[in-house]
Amino acid sequence: MSREARLLVGGLVFPECPRWREGKLWFSDMHGLKVMRADLSGRTETIAEVTGQPAGLGWLPNGGLLVVSQTDRRLLRLGRNGLFEVADLSKLAPVSCNDMVVDNQGRAYIGHFGSHTSVQPSTWSPAHIILVTPDGGVRVAADNLSFPNGMVITADGRTLIVAETFGHRLTAFAIQPDGSLTGQRVWAPLENVAPDGICLDAEGAIWAATVANEIVRVKEGGEIVDRVITSTKAFACMLGGVDRRTLFVCAADSFDAQEVRLKRNGRIEVAQVDVPGAGLP
pLDDT at 124: 64
**What is the torsional sign of CA 10, 264, 46, 250?**
positive
- Using CA atoms, how far apart are residues 59 and 81, in angstroms rounded to an integer? 17
Give the residue from 184, 105, 175, 95 showing the smallest Cα distance to 137. 105
pLDDT at 158: 98
What is the length of the chain?
281
Residue type, 32: G
pLDDT at 181: 98
pLDDT at 116: 56
- Using CA atoms, how far apart are residues 238 and 56, in angstroms rounded to an integer? 13
Distance in angstroms between the alpha carbons of the first and the last residue of the chain? 26
Q: How far is CA 126 from CA 116, 123, 129, 170, 193, in A?
A: 10, 10, 11, 16, 19
- Using CA atoms, how far apart are residues 127 and 130, in angstroms rounded to an integer? 9
pLDDT at 261: 87
Angle (nearest 5°) at CA 55 between 152 and 84 = 110
Q: How far is CA 33 from CA 30, 45, 121, 191, 270, in A?
A: 5, 13, 25, 33, 23
Instruction: Name residues whose C-beta falls within 8 Å of residue 75's C-beta, 6 or more positions apart in sequence.
Output: 66, 67, 68, 69, 85, 86, 87, 89, 100, 108, 110, 132
- Using CA atoms, how far apart are residues 129 and 144, in angstroms rounded to an integer? 9
Q: How far is CA 265 from CA 34, 42, 146, 206, 233, in A?
A: 16, 15, 29, 27, 11
Contact 109, 116 (CB under 8 A): no
pLDDT at 135: 92
- Using CA atoms, how far apart are residues 13 and 266, in angstroms rounded to an integer? 5
Tens of pLDDT along the chain (281 residues) come to 678 999 999 999 999 999 999 999 999 999 999 999 999 999 999 999 999 999 999 999 999 999 999 999 999 999 999 999 999 999 999 889 999 999 999 999 999 988 655 555 556 678 999 999 999 999 999 999 999 999 999 999 999 999 999 999 999 999 999 999 999 999 999 998 999 999 999 999 999 999 999 999 999 999 999 999 999 999 999 999 999 999 999 999 987 888 888 889 999 999 999 999 999 99
pLDDT at 185: 98
Instruction: Name residues whose C-beta falls within 8 Å of residue 177's C-beta, 6 or more positions apart in sequence.
Output: none
- Using CA atoms, how far apart are residues 127 and 145, in angstroms rounded to an integer? 5
**What are the chain's domains?**
2-272 (2.120.10.30)
Give the residue from 181, 170, 117, 116 showing the smallest Cα distance to 148. 170
Q: Kindly state the helix (H) or strand (E) to which residue 53 belongs, with its residue range.
A: none
- Using CA atoms, how far apart are residues 105 and 127, in angstroms rounded to an integer? 24
